[in-house]
Amino acid sequence: MSEEAQVQRRDFLSLITWAIGALIGAGIGIPAIAYIVGPALKKETSQEWIPIGSPSKIELGTPTLFKANIERTTGWIVNQEEVSAYVFTEDGRTYIAMSNVCSHLGCRVRWIAEQQSFFCPCHNGVFDKEGNVVSGPPPRPLDRFQVKVEGEQLFLKEA
Amino acid sequence: MATRVGEWLDQRLGWRAVWSAIFLRKMPKVNWLYTLGSATLFVALNQMVTGILLTIYYVPSPDQAYDSVQYITTQVPAGWLIRGLHHWGASVMVVLTVLHMLRVIFYGAYKYPREVTWFTGIGLLVTVIGFGFTGYLLPWDQKAFWATTVGTRIAEVTPVIGESILRIMRGGSELTAITLARFFGVHVWFLPAALLVILGVHLFLVIRNGISSVPKKEQE
């Protein structure tokens, strides 16, 4: 066997070793990435209509707070969670349902009747009765739910 | 480019000398049974990687352990694979460790100058068994619960100090949340720390003393 042939055999084995190592690395590495990011990619909003009460409770022209308990599964834990929304109607036929979570940093907003606006206590965000930003830091209007009325029941769905 | 970076690093780290001491060391002509130690090391690495990944979801508490394991197995992408590798790897680990030990016994590789390598190997065997014993409880299913009940009762048979051993293992007289939490702590902190230290010495000695050659019939 010549000197050159020996070097070639060594290089070949080294290459094979590295290739097998890379294959095993990818074989565990790729599933590991899927495993780590998996739950982050899951859609969390509930896709069902949530009954929240009777629309007769709403005073025309005044956003009214509705609350409902829903069951939500996060990972392996089933939680009772409260969904709350301000529902607003001018004419009793078309409804707007707004989240009471401030679009700035997630504090709860409150309807202040005297000022006819929503107020967020954390950083003084102010929204009008349809949820549009009036002043303060919020970057966008209050998030909205889909609404429907069936009989004497108001339903919400997370958009 | 790569060679220049390699050169630059080598001048500062001396990594080439370390590399060749580990991977390019001289070897006697041996057979495939001499790869059992490396195979064990490979599975140990598999256990470390998959074990670390499992801790992302697993919760060592009686009301969540079982559900979090089910979640890993059925909901998390590739969770079945990661858990499966860890589960089967655990058994493979014990089998390979024992086979490696038998090879060392039958080839007389524990003799001078490798006695300390053998002692650390015994430490590693005990550590591996500890991993198996503590890890078995963590899924917190019926099998896990009763296996640990029996396992700790076996320890209780020890003369004089038996009952103390059982109480220390269980963290009380019953198998409870305390038991699960301490088995988890031992499985992911105490034993890995012990393993890394003993394994470090073991591998250092393998490299320092070189591996033994296949014994030959008496030579004149």
Query: Interface pTM (ipTM) of the complex?
Result: 0.89
- A6: confidence class by pLDDT, cuts 50, 70, 90: low
Which residue in B has a C-alpha nearest to residue A10's C-alpha?
A: B24
Angle at the Cα of B23 (from B14 to B47), degrees rounded to 5? Answer: 105
B134 vs chain A: nearest CA distance in angstroms? 23
Q: pLDDT for B34-51, tens place per residue?
A: 999 999 999 999 999 999
Inter-chain CB proximity A32 and B82 less than 8 Å:
yes
Find which of B24, B57, B80 to mutate to test the A interface (most A CBs within 10 Å of its CB): B57
pLDDT of residue B156: 95
Collect all residues of chain A within an 8 Å Cβ-Cβ radius of residue B71: 75-76
Least confident span in A15-19, A70-74, A137-141: A70-74
- B210: confidence class by pLDDT, cuts 50, 70, 90: very high
Collect all residues of chain B within an 8 Å Cβ-Cβ radius of residue A76: 64, 67-68, 70-71, 75
User: Which of the pair, A73 or A127, is modelled with greater confidence?
Assistant: A127
**Residue B81: which of A31, A39, A77 has the nearest Cβ?**
A31
**B 13-72: CB under 8 A from A:** 46, 49-50, 53, 56-57, 64, 67-68, 70-71
Q: Is A129 exposed, middle or buried (0-12, 13-18, 19+ CB in 10 A)?
A: middle
**Residue A76: which of B50, B67, B77 has the nearest Cβ?**
B67
Give percent of chain A with pLDDT exceeding 70: 94
Domain residue limits, chain B: 30-209
Which residue in A has a C-alpha nearest to residue B68's C-alpha?
A: A76
Collect all residues of chain B within an 8 Å Cβ-Cβ radius of residue A32: 49, 53, 78, 82
Average pLDDT, stretch B150-157? 95
Find which of A20, A28, A41, A74 to mutate to test the B interface (most B CBs within 10 Å of its CB): A28
Residue A117: how many CB atoms within 10 A of its CB? 19
Least confident span in A80-84, B24-28, B62-66: A80-84
Inter-chain CB proximity A28 and B79 less than 8 Å:
no
**Average pLDDT across chain A, whole number:** 87
Inter-chain CB proximity A31 and B82 less than 8 Å:
yes
Helix (H) or strand (E) holding A22: helix A3-37
- What Cα–Cα distance (Å) separates residue A79 from each residue in A106, A122, B65? 20, 27, 17
- A79: confidence class by pLDDT, cuts 50, 70, 90: confident
Average pLDDT, stretch A79-92? 86
Inter-chain CB proximity B78 and A32 less than 8 Å:
yes
Does pLDDT of B220 surpass 60? no
- What Cα–Cα distance (Å) separates residue A2 from each residue in A8, A9, A21, B17? 10, 11, 29, 27
In what order do the strands lie in the sheet containing A50-53?
Answer: A50-53, A153-158, A144-150, A95-99, A77-89, A64-74
Which residue in B has a C-alpha nearest to residue A35's C-alpha?
A: B77
**Residue A34: which of B71, B78, B85 has the nearest Cβ?**
B78
Q: What does the alpha-carbon distance between residue A156 and residue A150 come to, in Å, rounded to a whole number?
A: 11
The torsion defined by the Cα of B88, B92, B95 and B96, in degrees rounded to 10, comes to -170
**Residue B79: which of A28, A35, A77 has the nearest Cβ?**
A35
A1 vs chain B: nearest CA distance in angstroms? 19
**Residue A76: which of B68, B78, B81 has the nearest Cβ?**
B68
Inter-chain CB proximity B53 and A75 less than 8 Å:
no
Does pLDDT of A2 surpass 70? no
Which CATH number is B30-209's, of 1.10.8.100, 1.20.810.10, 1.10.357.10, 1.10.10.10?
Answer: 1.20.810.10
Inter-chain contacts counted by CB atoms under 8 A, chains A and B: 42
Q: Is B71 exposed, middle or buried (0-12, 13-18, 19+ CB in 10 A)?
A: buried
